[in-house]
Amino acid sequence: MKTVYRVLAYAIAVMVAVQSAAIGYAVFAQLNWMETGGTLDAAAFDTGAPGTAAMIFHALDAGFILLLALALLVVSFFAKIPHGVRWAVIVLVCTILQIAFGVLSHLTAVMGAVHGAVALALFGVAVMAAMRARKPVVVEETVPATVA
Amino acid sequence: MASRSTRVRLVVSVVATVVVLAPLAWLWQSSLVGSSYSVMGMGTLDYGGGPVGGHGHGSTDRSITDLAADTARKADVRVDLVAEQQNLAIGGRSIAGYTLNGTSPGPTITAHQGQLIEVHLRNASVKDGITLHWHGYDVPAAMDGVAGVTQDEVPIGGEFTYRFVANQVGTYWYHSHQVSNPQVIGGLFGTLVVLPKTGKSEPVDVIATAHTYEGTKTINGAAGDLRVPADPGQRVRIRVINTDNGPIETWTDTPFRVLAIDGYEVNAPTDLTERSVTVTAGGRADLGITMPSDGRGVRVQVSKGTAVILGAQAPAAPPQPATSLDLLGYGSPTALSFDPATADRRFEYSIGRRPGFVRGLPGLWWSINGHLYPHVPMYVVQEGDIVTMHIDNHSGQVHPMHLHGHHAVVLARNGVAATGSPWWVDSLNVLDDETYDIAFVATNPGIWLDHCHHLKHAADGMVAHLMYEGVTTPYQVGGTAGNRPE
């Protein structure tokens, strides 16, 4: 279970990086397209203008990350990792907040800035959770001689 | 043997898992609609405060298949349409799409008021099957062309004949209502124009069907501008039809009028300058322009990407006005044929967005009156009812709301009463944080979709129905026929 916990936590971190990559690609694909005469509006978005597929992937992948975070929480109940449940809850809450900020960005664009910043936090807590599940490293220590 | 603390820990873990997953499993299960279902049994019955009748049962039931035009009457306008799935040449690119009689858009169907239109549709090669819905035309219910509600989809090699009397003058369009989002995006649509019995009211009558094919803006299926000859002083009517999923703006720097919205003439329209006109997804706007007497050409932008150029000269693109025309106060009021204050039923159509499951898939979905598909309202009316509907959008995005089989008049927006010409719509642009009050008379028995015409939103569950008491349908969504209306 420890390994499953670690893999899930790292998978979340990797998917957050993929999310950043997708949205970065989408923005520049759209800019490049507009610079060559394309008109970007809702209809162009819906009919497959460059970058659209990456944006749709970004939205769908958010749901996948949420499922990973839920799975991490369930696994944490059985994994016997010190503070493992706590970190899984932190990852899940962070994921929910991140999705909420993404949705709210459609209402207020400035929330998009928060959404971008919270991505780093989610990446960080996912890595931290994964590190909780590392196998303990055996360190040999020299036992000091008894002092009389 | 496991210690007591280990056993306790295991039990706690299992309980915690159940606590997390059980609500999700319940929500998932309740979102499933089965592989085949009738829309008659879908959602929550909403009588809008009116009398509660026998809903779909009893000896007076009428099948939707019987609600058709006079079968004995001979057709005045007959059109044969053959649908194919094939590549389209758009702006120098070849893209996957659909055609009717080899073109996209399909042929323009033109009739005069009072004529009986008969359209014979054959599916030559569209894999998912097709139907034709007459958008904005208040046809008899059996002719509404919605797969799984008013007919079965037309499979490859199949045929269907649509017949209806052209009672409404104006600009309309037709499109597939089987797997409608990809099929309309791919070009399975055409234009329907019904002229007055006396013929065209303007010497120059232009159809400008706006569509975006894989990101390329077109008018009448061609990328770039549409050039139309027009002489100085001539009156021109431009019929702008928005077949996309999002709203478009149209404008010009020559004074113009809005002659009609969604096929219905505006009463006493006045000249407009420095205003654009919003044409919602699925909506139409007829613009009237008198060509300048000095011989100048006129450029009418249909979104930023395309334009209609009238006359020999092509003026530069005019800047987009900062303000869009408010139709709430445009033109002059006239009396309605009914009194909305005496409504028999008053419905709510509240559009939101929330996390949950639709058809078993998790996501952020559109809600209607707080519920996700299929737990959406089934608005029930009786023939002759005066109906009002309060539409409230708090979902964060614009929704072009489209009621089949009826035209509704806008009474108020955000609580402010309409003061202009009666504003009749079949497709209404409802922005986020807006409310609309609309009214109509239930004069067209059937089972009618009342949905968002951003067809992806509809496919994602933003579909409710208006059902007349005593009308039934033998058709099912899904099933062996493979009906998938959205």
- pLDDT tens track for B278-313: 999 999 999 999 999 999 999 999 998 899 999 988
Measured at the CA of B199, the angle between CA B271 and CA B264, to 5 degrees, comes to 50
Say what the pLDDT of residue A12 is. Answer: 97
Return the CA Rg of chain A.
Answer: 21
- pLDDT tens track for B452-484: 999 999 999 999 999 999 999 999 999 888 899
- Grouping H, G, I as helix, E, B as strand and the rest as coil, residue B290 is strand
Say what the pLDDT of residue B46 is. Answer: 97
Asked if B213 lies within 8 A of A47 by C-beta distance, the reply is yes
Tokens found for residue B41: 């049994």
Residue with tokens 């007919």: B151
Say what the pLDDT of residue B58 is. Answer: 47
Nearest to A49, CA basis, from B105, B185, B317, B319? B185
d(CA B432, CA B276): 20
- pLDDT tens track for B178-196: 999 999 999 999 999 999 9
Say what the pLDDT of residue A48 is. Answer: 79
What homologous superfamily does CATH list for B77-195?
Cupredoxins -  blue copper proteins (2.60.40.420)
Interface of B with A in 266-295 (CB under 8 A): none
Give B57's pLDDT tier (boundaries 50, 70, 90): very low
- Grouping H, G, I as helix, E, B as strand and the rest as coil, residue B350 is strand
Best of A41, A52, A86, A105 to substitute, by most chain B Cβ atoms within 10 angstroms, is: A41
Asked if A42 lies within 8 A of B245 by C-beta distance, the reply is yes
- pLDDT tens track for B347-392: 999 999 988 888 888 888 999 999 999 999 999 999 999 999 999 9
Asked if A63 lies within 8 A of B362 by C-beta distance, the reply is yes
Q: Is A107 on the interface with B (CB under 8 A)?
A: yes
Give B329's pLDDT tier (boundaries 50, 70, 90): very high
Closest-CA distance of chain B to residue A102, Å: 11
d(CA B128, CA B126): 6
C-alpha count within 13 angstroms, C-beta hemisphere, residue A132: 24
Kindly report the backbone phi and psi dihedral angles of residue B391, in degrees, each rounded to the nearest multiple of 5, phi listed first. Answer: -100, 130
d(CA B448, CA B141): 8
d(CA B196, CA B114): 9
Tokens found for residue B179: 């797997």
Q: Residue B427 forms beta bridges with which residues?
A: B402
Q: Residue B264 forms beta bridges with which residues?
A: B261
| Minimal Cβ distance to B185: which of A46, A49, A106 | A46
- Mean pLDDT, chain B, rounded, equals 94
Q: Nearest chain A residue to B399 by CA: give it.
A: A42
Closest-CA distance of chain B to residue A42, Å: 5
| DSSP letters for B31-55 | T---SEE-GGG-SEEE-TTS----T
Asked if B246 lies within 8 A of A45 by C-beta distance, the reply is yes
At residue B433, does pLDDT exceed 70? Answer: yes
Q: Domain coordinates of chain B in residue numbers? A: 36-64+335-478, 77-195, 204-325
b/e burial code for range A76-104 (CB count within 10 A of at least 16 → b) = bbbbebeebbebbebbbebbeebbbbbbb
Say what the pLDDT of residue B56 is. Answer: 44
d(CA B102, CA B128): 18
Say what the pLDDT of residue A148 is. Answer: 52
Asked if B119 and B133 count as a contact pair (C-beta separation under 8 A), the reply is no
Q: Is A69 on the interface with B (CB under 8 A)?
A: no
Residue with tokens 């209609």: B308
Amino acid at A56: I
Say what the pLDDT of residue B123 is. Answer: 98
Asked if A49 lies within 8 A of B214 by C-beta distance, the reply is yes
Measured at the CA of B56, the angle between CA B54 and CA B59, to 5 degrees, comes to 75
| Minimal Cβ distance to B16: which of A48, A77, A99 | A77
Nearest to A117, CA basis, from A106, A127, A105? A105
Other beta carbons within 10 Å of B358: 21
Is pTM, for the whole model, over 0.90?
Answer: no
**CATH number of the domain located at residue range(s) B204-325 in this protein:** 2.60.40.420
Nearest to A37, CA basis, from B317, B132, B58, B447? B317
Say what the pLDDT of residue B360 is. Answer: 87
Per CATH, is B36-64+335-478 categorized as 2.60.40.420? yes
> Mean pLDDT over residues B17-23, rounded?
90
Question: Would the CATH topology of B77-195 be identical to that of B204-325?
Answer: yes
d(CA B107, CA B23): 52
pLDDT one digit per residue (tens) for chain A, 148 residues: 899 999 999 999 999 999 999 999 999 999 998 887 788 888 888 777 889 999 999 999 998 999 999 999 999 999 989 999 999 999 999 999 999 999 888 888 899 999 999 999 999 999 999 998 876 656 666 666 665 5
